[in-house]
Amino acid sequence: MAVYSKELGVQSICNAALGDYRYKGFRLVEDGDHFLRLYCQDGLLEVFNQTMVTIPRIHETCHRYLESLDAS
């Protein structure tokens, strides 16, 4: 996840990491050199250490959040 490509840019990599969750209102934004912030709409859901987080972990957090909305 922490691999940077000047051609793609960090935001493109973050968008790709979200996969289909990107189209469900989630945003993944780099915050400094070591952190990624996960938002749904305008609400901050979680802050990840970008050197430790995996794409499945990001997807799990998105999925868990959507499940919590369904349960309400």
* Residue 58 in this model has a pLDDT that exceeds 70: yes
Confidence of residue 8 (pLDDT cuts 50, 70, 90): low
pLDDT tens-place string over residues 26-40: 999 998 878 999 999
pTM: 0.83
The Cα–Cα gap between 49 and 69 comes to: 25
Q: State both tokens at 44.
A: 């901050």
Q: Is 32 exposed, middle or buried (0-12, 13-18, 19+ CB in 10 A)?
A: exposed
First to last CA, the chain: 32
Q: State both tokens at 65.
A: 């959040």
